[in-house]
Chains A and B, each alone.
Chain A
Amino acid sequence: MSSKQITVALVGNPNTGKSTLFNALTGLRQKVGNYPGVTVARKSGRCDCGDGLKVELVDLPGLYSLAAASPDEQVVTDVLLGSLEGSQQPDAIVVVLDVTNLLRNLFLASQLAELNLPLALVLNQADIAHEQGLKIDTQLLSQRLGGVPVVLTSAWKGEGIASVRRAIAEVLNKKTKMTKLIWPSQVESALGTIVQAIQADTGQAPSSADAQRILFSSNAHTSDRLGWSQPQRELIVRQARDQVRSAGYNPMAAEPLIHYAHLRKILEGVIAGGTGKQGNAAALDRVLLHRVIGPILFTGIMLGLFASVFWLAKFPMQWIQSGVDFLKAIIAPALVSTPMLQSLVTDGIIAGVGAFLVFLPQILILFLFIGILEDSGYMARAAFIMDRLFSWCGLNGKSFVPLLSGFACAIPGLLSTRTIEDPKARLATAFAVPFMSCSARFPVYALMCAAFIGPLYGPGWESVVMVGMHCVGLLFAVPTAFVLTRFVLKVKPQPFVLELPRYQMPKPSDVLWRMWQNAAEFVSKAGTVIFAMTIVIWALCYFPRDAQMADRIKAAEPTLSEHEIQSRTQAAMIEQSWMGRFGKAVQPVFDPCGFDWKITVGVLASFPAREVIVSTLGVTYSIGKGAEADSQNLRTAMQEAKWMDGPRKSTPIFSLAAVLALMVFFALCSQCGPTIATLAQETGGWKWAAISFFYMTILAWVMAVVVYQSVIRLI
């Protein structure tokens, strides 16, 4: 079925309004996925081109050149050549160009012409060209380019969409191809040298486009794909490049030089008028990028973003939580006769759905902000302002928003790393985000500080410790990113060349649509993993079950109240569950951090979600379920807890050393199932998720030991 479907690729420079056009052409009939093996999003949708012609329109990542230097560029090149596994070569290409910067935009189109596919040009942002007084002779341009359809549109205003549909139909019908440039004869023969050598080696002649990539691009992506054998290709390419040099061109500069010279001639007489005015960008930049005002405005905008993700999201999160609790409360009585099923449904299934739904408010709010910041053109300025702070450790200015969001929650922070184009900086940022002290760590610090630091050392030290704990993660994240980008990741970093585009009013439908797509992708990918994890952890804490536990506790101490029996039973149940047994078994591992088995069970049970430690401690300290960070009973129980045996017998378990060690452990440990699932989603596999998990957990353990052992020796 899919082999008969007609596909058309939408290609263009960034900031051309390509996505707006894509949304306008496909409406809401879109699919979002990933290309196999790479973390490049694949967006496609059905486009109705009239007369019953329906095509699959594929929105390819925005790019400036087919040089295949970045993963995005490689994917686009591979898709257009039909060489990517699981995707067929498109039947036609629609190139979206910013009509106000036609020369630069035509460079990509001119490279695309070399692919020999039917092609149409959409000159977008006609409204802005009109404001600037630019007049474009589309007929002349079409004529000079071999009769390919050339249409003027303003996708933002929804103007000219119908003519794009007609152009797609026309190009599929007439198969018009864009006129290719004529290479200087030496370059032509250099390309011929490469074609012949590959044909001799692999038995198949490569396309001229492939030969150009091998001749002009500095990486071996194309040669590898064609299976050209290693030893001879270096020599052949060097010979071919020498031929280019003999024509007076530096081989690495020949492609843009020849294309641009060709395009300057093509454009002669096509564009008229134009004041040369940049419009709003220069004036707004004078304020937004001002030495003093710029950073102040930046701080204000980012504080607003953070406050929204951190604070505003709390309300819908509470609604989701109450919804989940409400659902539990009405379903639990119906299943009271089957306690196992009751627990599975309420603590497993409903809690599992709640576990990923609760992230949606933060994701939606953050992507609302990101959509506005990106589409308005401010995101590039934010990166420009912040880049210096991040460049030295291998990240870049675009790492700021993900890291800042990480202080609210790692999940939206990780999802927002997709705004970073450079794959190396993207991965390093994603690796650093879970170190940021997220809001789920707060209850742990709050409990420990209120129960121990405050009463013992006063509120002053309490706040010092609170602030300090929020910095611990950052302290380790920065060197981690530095080492990762400098010594571990062998990928070549992408140069940080960033267009500062024209400012523009974000189109609300585009922003909302992107928000929705990101949330939907999170639910379908990471959400299912989070759900499964919740069920597994539920089972580990539930089984095996001793039905007579309550009776035995009652028999041993008949004076206990009903509530006390219930709390004691819960404590006993968790103690003899798989989780409890495992906690007791591995307690020796955590002994050097000063954790007893109850803390160890709490630590283990909170691997899926770190905030669980508070309620787990509530259960193990027999306070009953539902303990909160500010519950007085839990604080008292913990303050009174003493070691039962061993060398520390009858000294408090929660000594200053143990309290600090526990907080440092929570600051650094990878205790968040959703983070791991999202990291896997965003890095395209479990490898980096696993590395992050083990790295953070081992680091947390080591630092907890260091803190505990040094504090007990100092005090």
Chain B
Amino acid sequence: MTPLSQLLPGQFGKLVSLNPDQAVDQRLMALGLLPGMALKLVRRAPLGDPVAIEFGGQVVSLRLAEAESLIVDVAADCPVQRPKNTP
């Protein structure tokens, strides 16, 4: 169980939990980032924050401070290829 902020660029993980009471997490859920979803930390911005994450065939930027509640499991068996569009 790792907070998203500790993922290295290029590292994959599976979303374990988020905090549905937070506005950021609500926005991400609307985009389809739900528990069990595979995601990848694509890169950090040149100044270290925000970060770009990829899930469900899209890349989204979010601030680490706003995404504290995202917990991922990096040990989980994740598809190494990019998450496909197909459900």
Contact = CB atoms under 8 A, between A and B. Distances in A.
B32 A256 contact: yes
B76 interface: no
B56 A101 contact: yes
Given A387-B49, A495-B23, A276 B82 contact: yes
B61 A69 contact: no
Contacts of B84: 274, 276
A67 B61 contact: no
A69 B50 contact: no
A496 B63 contact: yes
Nearest to B50: A387
A699 interface: no
B82 A500 contact: no
Nearest to B43: A289
Given A64-B30, A101-B57, A388-B49, A252 B86 contact: no
B76 to A, nearest CB: 19
B15 to A, nearest CB: 12
B28 A264 contact: no
A67 B81 contact: no
A252 B20 CA distance: 5
Given A285-B42, A494-B23, A496-B62, A256 B29 contact: yes
Given A64-B30, A103-B87, A276-B81, A500 B56 contact: no
Contact of A496 (B46, B50, B52, B87): B50
Given A104-B58, A271-B85, A256 B34 contact: yes
Contacts of B59: 278, 281, 285, 499-500
A104, A134, A497 — which one has the most chain B CB atoms within 10 A of its CB? A497
Contacts of B83: 276
Contacts of A134: 85
Contacts of A276: 57, 81-85
B30 A256 contact: yes
Contacts of B42: 282, 285
Contacts of A69: 23, 26-27
B75 interface: no
Contacts of A100: 57, 85
Given A492-B23, A499-B60, A500-B61, A295 B32 contact: no
A472 interface: no
B13 to A, nearest CB: 18
A268 interface: yes
Contacts of B27: 64-65, 69, 495, 497
Interface of B: 20-24, 26-32, 34, 42-43, 45-50, 52, 56-63, 65-66, 81-87
Given A499-B59, A500-B59, 16 more contacts: A67-B26, A101-B58, A107-B32, A218-B21, A251-B20, A256-B30, A260-B32, A264-B87, A268-B87, A384-B45, A385-B45, A387-B45, A391-B63, A391-B65, A497-B28, A497-B62
